[in-house]
A and B are shown apart, each in its own frame.
Chain A
Amino acid sequence: MNVSIIGIGQTEVKELWDTSIRHLAWYAIEAALDDAHTTDIDAIYVGNMLAGALSKQNHLGALVADFAGLRGIEAVTVEAADASGGAALRQAVLAVKSGLVKTALAVGVEKMTDATGAPVTAAVASALDADYEAAHGLTMAGAAALLMRRYMHEYGLDVADFAGFSVNAHANGADNPLAMFRNRLKAERFTGGPLVADPVTLFDAAPMGDGAAAVIVTSHERAMDMVPVPVQIAGSAIATDTLALHDRKDVVWLRAAEQSAKRALEKAGVSPDGVDLFELHDSFTIMAALSLEAAGFAERGRGWELAKNGAIGRNGRIPISTFGGLKARGNPLGATGVYQVVEAARQLRGEAGDCQVDGAKVALTQNLGGMGGTAVTHVLKVE
């Protein structure tokens, strides 16, 4: 059975002090239901990473289903650190493919601002190995910094070589009214950013914000009767790698990202050359470079070059972060993977406004958990 998207919804990403986690999820769900012109949902998969730690709220499946007026249906939370959203969509796809669930909704939601400062940094670090990484003071940004420093060492690069990723993300975010940051970033300012974890700076790390996004999926046959442009989920795959960088034989390679991309592309019968845009997990510029390599858009050690030669721009060979990516749209951790798919669907429907990639028919999305311990890849296409 082929699965297609019939509804999408998202909130803006920012510090939404007046909005609770249940309201965030509801706003995204409400928008997706409106978009699909249906309230006939059989199951909800909630992607979330930190509600238990930051909002003292677990059990989001029941909470969200109840608050959305969908009491009674199947609803559970899916957790895979900042890949939770992509993983939740994967469960929705599997549910529909199984034939046991007719219409499924994946909602990614993250409420970052119920806490602030060092406790948030510690909660985010729970994506790492608690006993052998976080216990030594390592943070998510610190882990990315270890990866970036080693990559720079192996390939003889400077921090400035990564500037193009953030410049591109901010240029695209400037055209997205829902983005957290709409300011442009000048390449020459990139290296002067405030340090988070040397060499990672604030201009390199994606900002975390509140946000929620939702996607409704059903069989392609039903979708064709329900909406004018069903976006097919032609490929979907999750792969895993060691949680900790120190357990990887090949530290500067995202093995799970490679495996999940290969499986999803193969399932879709698409090669990297056939992809019109790529919503990748640019939580840090090094992750963008490594994702491009893992997904087959660049040779090993050369992903950074795509940010230097304009290939990742809206009119380039492989546009990425077309609505600003994690870097400028903002990174609501467990919701990010659903945002990527909502944005890719808008591109393929031709509803991306100022962010539109002309003539886009095939999109790839890749959502990473932590340093790529989980990688979720989806291939979307329209006829």
Chain B
Amino acid sequence: MEVSRNWRLQEQRYKLVGETCDSCGVKLFPPRDVCLECEAPAYELFTFTGLGEVFSYTTIYDAPAGFENTAPYTVALVKLAEGPLVTAQLTDIDQEDVHIGMPVEMVTRKLRADGPEGMIVYGYKFRPSVETAVA
């Protein structure tokens, strides 16, 4: 059921909790229990800083069910400072201003709402880093 499914992901969605591999030290997000690099067990939790930079991005016009009312929106591959890539929407920026290499930071925002009466799902998005915005 969708409620339990979203509840199950709350540590990842709200805090970017991933894992670290005891054997090779690589940081994993999303958590996957078996290390992506060395295939050793990786159950040690690790909380990411939420800092990173844009690795690639797209603005989606043909939206799937649940996202029709927010289209067009921009989804990026963000390279986290600790190593892994994460797929997330960009927020607080015009799509024309996005570029590869742009520093970003994680914020918690509404991911989707299933109609006026339905469940609202929150989770991570990324916005331009505050330091960059000031500079």
Q: Which residues of A contact B (CB under 8 A)?
A: 118-119, 121-122, 125, 129, 131-139, 141-142, 145-147, 149-150, 153, 194-200, 242, 244-249, 251
Chain A minimum-CB-distance residue to B71: A137
Hey, which chain B residues are within 8 Å of A147, CB to CB? Answer: 56
Q: Is the CB of B77 within 8 A of A134?
A: no
Q: Is the CB of A197 within 8 A of B62?
A: yes
Binds A, one of B38-46, B79-87, B127-135: B79-87
Interface residues of B in 33-62 (CB under 8 A from A): 36, 55-62
A122-B66, A136-B75, A150-B77 known; A195-B61 Cβ under 8 A: yes
Q: Is the CB of B85 within 8 A of A245?
A: yes
Hey, which chain B residues are within 8 Å of A145, CB to CB? Answer: 58, 60
As a 0/1 sequence over residues 10 to 44 of chain B, the CB contacts with chain A under 8 angstroms (1 = contact) are: 00100000000000000000101000100000000
Hey, which chain B residues are within 8 Å of A137, CB to CB? Answer: 60, 63-64, 66-67, 70, 73, 75, 89, 111-112
> What's the Cα separation between A121 and B133 when bound, in Å?
35
> What's the Cα separation between A121 and B12 when bound, in Å?
25
Q: Is the CB of A138 within 8 A of B61?
A: no
Q: Is the CB of B64 within 8 A of A125?
A: yes
A147-B56, A197-B58 known; A142-B75 Cβ under 8 A: yes
Chain B minimum-CB-distance residue to A128: B87
Q: Is the CB of B65 within 8 A of A146?
A: no
Hey, which chain B residues are within 8 Å of A200, CB to CB? Answer: 58
Shortest beta-carbon distance from B37 to chain A in Å: 8
B9, B32, B61, B89 interface centre (most CB from chain A within 10 Å): B61
Kindly list the 4 A-B residue pairs having the minimum CB-CB distance in the complex, ordered from nearest: A145-B58, A122-B64, A246-B85, A150-B56
A147-B56, A150-B55 known; A196-B62 Cβ under 8 A: yes
Hey, which chain A residues are within 8 Å of B57, CB to CB? Answer: 146, 149
- In the complex, B100 has a CB within 8 A of chain A: yes
Q: Is the CB of A197 within 8 A of B111?
A: no
Shortest beta-carbon distance from B84 to chain A in Å: 7
Hey, which chain B residues are within 8 Å of A244, CB to CB? Answer: 87
Shortest beta-carbon distance from A77 to chain B in Å: 24
B70, B77, B87, B123 interface centre (most CB from chain A within 10 Å): B87
Q: Is the CB of A121 within 8 A of B62?
A: yes
Chain A minimum-CB-distance residue to B28: A247
Partner pick for A153 among B59, B86, B88, B100, CB 8 A cutoff = B100
Q: Jot down 16 A-B pairs with beta carbons below 8 A, ordered by A.
A: A118-B63, A135-B111, A137-B60, A137-B67, A137-B73, A139-B60, A141-B60, A147-B56, A149-B100, A150-B100, A198-B95, A244-B87, A245-B85, A246-B77, A246-B84, A251-B85
Hey, which chain B residues are within 8 Å of A153, CB to CB? Answer: 56, 100
Shortest beta-carbon distance from B55 to chain A in Å: 7
Hey, which chain B residues are within 8 Å of A246, CB to CB? Answer: 77, 84-87
Partner pick for B87 among A121, A136, A199, CB 8 A cutoff = A136
Q: Is the CB of B58 within 8 A of A134?
A: no
Q: Is the CB of A138 within 8 A of B56?
A: no
> What's the Cα separation between A248 and B111 when bound, in Å?
24
- In the complex, B68 has a CB within 8 A of chain A: yes
> What's the Cα separation between A244 and B121 when bound, in Å?
21
> What's the Cα separation between A147 and B62 when bound, in Å?
17
Chain A minimum-CB-distance residue to B70: A137
Chain A minimum-CB-distance residue to B9: A131
Chain A minimum-CB-distance residue to B125: A136
Hey, which chain B residues are within 8 Å of A142, CB to CB? Answer: 58, 60, 75
Shortest beta-carbon distance from B116 to chain A in Å: 17
Q: Is the CB of A146 within 8 A of B61?
A: no
Chain B minimum-CB-distance residue to A202: B62
Partner pick for B59 among A119, A135, A198, A245, CB 8 A cutoff = A198
Hey, which chain A residues are within 8 Å of B86, CB to CB? Answer: 132, 246
Known: A119-B65, A121-B63, A137-B64. 6 other contacts (CB 8 A): A129-B30, A135-B111, A146-B75, A149-B56, A153-B100, A251-B77
> What's the Cα separation between A195 and B95 when bound, in Å?
14
Chain B minimum-CB-distance residue to A194: B61
Chain A minimum-CB-distance residue to B56: A150
Hey, which chain B residues are within 8 Å of A129, CB to CB? Answer: 30, 87
